[in-house]
Amino acid sequence: MVTGIEKPYVLGMDIGGTNSVFGVVDQRGNVLVSDSVKTQEYTEVLEYVAAVTAKIKPMVNQFGGIEKFKGFGIGAPNGNFYSGTIEFAPNLPWKGVIRLKKLFEDALGIPCALTNDANAAAIGEMTYGAARGMKDFIMITLGTGVGSGIVANGQLIYGHDGFAGELGHVIVRRENGRLCGCGRKGCLEAYCSATGVARTAREFLVSRSEPSLLRNIPADDITSKDVYDAAVKGDKLAAEIFEFTGTLLGEALADFIAFSSPEAIILFGGLAKSGDYIFKPVQKAIDDNVLPIFKGKTKLLLSELKDADAAVLGASALGWEAKAEE
The pLDDT > 90 percentage for the chain reads 78
For 266-284, what is each residue's pLDDT tens digit?
999 889 999 999 999 999 9
pLDDT band at 13 (very low <50, low <70, confident <90, very high): very high
Burial class (CB in 10 A: 0-12, 13-18, 19+), 318: buried
Q: Which domains does the chain have, with CATH numbers?
A: 9-122+308-319 (3.30.420.40), 134-302 (3.30.420.40)
| Pair 119, 76: CB distance under 8 Å | no
Q: What is the full DSSP assignment across 75-91?
A: EETTEETTTTEEE--TT
Alpha helices per DSSP H over the chain: 45-62, 100-108, 117-128, 189-192, 194-207, 224-232, 236-260, 276-289, 309-319
Taking Cα atoms as reference points, which of 138, 170, 79 lies closest to residue 267?
Answer: 138
Radius of gyration of the chain (CA): 20
In angstroms, the Cα distances linking 286 to 54, 273, 319 are 46, 19, 36
Q: What is the full DSSP assignment across 97-150?
A: EE-HHHHHHHHHSS-EEEEEHHHHHHHHHHHHSTTTT-SSEEEEEESSSEEEEE
pTM for this model (two decimals): 0.85
DSSP at 94:
-
Taking Cα atoms as reference points, which of 167, 158, 244, 168 lies closest to residue 200?
Answer: 244
| Position 323 pLDDT exceeds 90 | no
Q: Averaged over 276-304, what is the pLDDT? A: 97
The mean predicted confidence, pLDDT, of the chain is 93
| Position 307 pLDDT exceeds 90 | no
Q: Can you give the pLDDT at residue 78?
A: 87
CA triplet 161, 47, 100: central angle to 5 degrees?
20
DSSP at 156:
E
For residue 208, the tally of other CB atoms under 10 A from its CB is: 12
Integer Cα distance of 286 and 298 in angstroms: 10
Least-confidence region, from 131-140, 145-154, 259-268, 314-323? 314-323
Q: Can you give the pLDDT at residue 2?
A: 44
Q: Averaged over 92-110, what is the pLDDT? A: 96
**CB neighbours of 113 closer than 8 A, spacing ≥ 6?**
71, 72, 73, 74, 81, 84, 101, 318, 319, 321, 322, 323
Integer Cα distance of 137 and 126 in angstroms: 9
Q: Can you give the pLDDT at residue 27?
A: 87
For 194-205, what is each residue's pLDDT tens digit?
999 999 999 999
